Structure 1
Amino acid sequence: MSLRRASTDDIPAIVALTEAAYLPNESVIGVPSLPRIADYTKVLAEHEIWLAETGAELDGVLVLEEEPAKFTLWSIAVAPAAAGRKIGSTLMNFAEERARALGHDAVHLYTHARLAERIGWYERLGYQTTHFEDLPDRRLIHMRKNLR
């Protein structure tokens, strides 16, 4: 597996993988997943998008948001066909390495508060809940992992 930065040519594949990865969550959360309905032309212009590939196959998509005082894992998606190959763990490790390389001492992320399995995975990776955020149509849980 290799990692590379995405380009505009990759947007159709990013959208397809994100759709496949996030659509199953919607039966649990009851609303469209934010990464699934995002405008990836805009996301690519504003964030770093990294692609995990095996040969010509797209296995995962990682979207990172860097601000001066905060580094956020905006989205992580693994192709259903790549499940069980530790793509998600590899992308999480890369996000933490990227945060360190850019001088950040923590990685922030958020997910829907009803995604207990996902929250448990993040907790096993060392992320801790910082707060909840109530939006009109969903409740988000914000998490953080200190890197130092």
Structure 2
Amino acid sequence: MAITPAILTDVPELVALINSAYRGESSKKGWTTEANLIDGQRIDAEGLTEQMDDSDAIILKNTNDEGHITGCVYLQKRSDKLYLGMLTVSPTLQAGGLGRKLLQAAEDYARSINYHTIVMTVITTRTELLEWYERRGYSKTGEIIPLNITERNGILRQPVEMYKLEKSV
């Protein structure tokens, strides 16, 4: 397994992976699903391409021995902090250490570009996910923000709020 930067030709496979992990029936095979809170897709090819075209952003991908993408994480420079989002592991591979490996790669990347704080948001009702990040040194900042998304990125079943988490690396 290797973690490397994603490239534009990876977009179709990344879109399928991300949507399978966050939304729909396939996401229920893992523990990171948002399907009970949000309908629709998590990302589309156009949106992911826009993220990858951002010179302040990178997507790191994990590729298995057969060359298939099994996980990814989105990182974006935001002022003096690195935003981490869309940490994704294939639902059938979750709880096997790949998420930790991707998170470590994100932290290593932050240090390599001289960023010392990683920030992210996590849905407030996702207690098991919040606890997972807290065990890895991320802390709630006290800031709670509403999740506002367009239909392109899902349809909220109810109002959703997110905690802002941070970690010094």
Q: TM-score, normalised by structure 1?
A: 0.89
1:51 aligned partner, one-letter code: K
The corresponding residue for 1:114 is 125
User: How far apart are the structure 2 equivalents of 1:32 and 1:76?
Assistant: 19
Give the counterpart of 1:31 among 29, 35, 38: 38
The corresponding residue for 2:151 is none
Contact 1:96 1:107 in 2 (8 A): yes
The corresponding residue for 1:139 is 161
For 2:34, what is the secondary structure of its paired residue? helix
User: How far apart are the structure 1 equivalents of 2:165 and 2:135?
Assistant: 12
Q: How many residues align?
A: 145
After TM superposition, the runs of 4+ consecutive aligned structure 1 residues lying more than 6 A away are: none
Contact 1:107 1:145 in 2 (8 A): yes
The corresponding residue for 2:114 is 103
Which structure has more relative contact order (CA 8 Å, sep 6+)? It is 2
Q: CA deviation at 1:83?
A: 2.0
User: Identity of paired residues, percent?
Assistant: 25
Q: CA deviation at 1:135?
A: 4.0
Give the counterpart of 2:91 among 80, 84, 91: 80
Q: TM-score, normalised by structure 2?
A: 0.79
Cα offsets for 1:33-91 (capped at 9, x unmatched): 8x813511111112201110112121101110113311111220001122233110001
The corresponding residue for 1:44 is 52
Contact 1:8 1:41 in 2 (8 A): yes
1:89 aligned partner, one-letter code: R
The corresponding residue for 2:3 is 3
In structure 2, runs of 5+ residues without a counterpart are: 28-32, 149-158
1:140 aligned partner, one-letter code: M
The corresponding residue for 2:63 is 53
Give the counterpart of 1:127 among 122, 125, 138: 138
1:21 aligned partner, one-letter code: A
1:93 partnered with 2:99: no
User: How far apart are the structure 1 equivalents of 2:89 and 2:147?
Assistant: 26
2:164 aligned partner, one-letter code: H
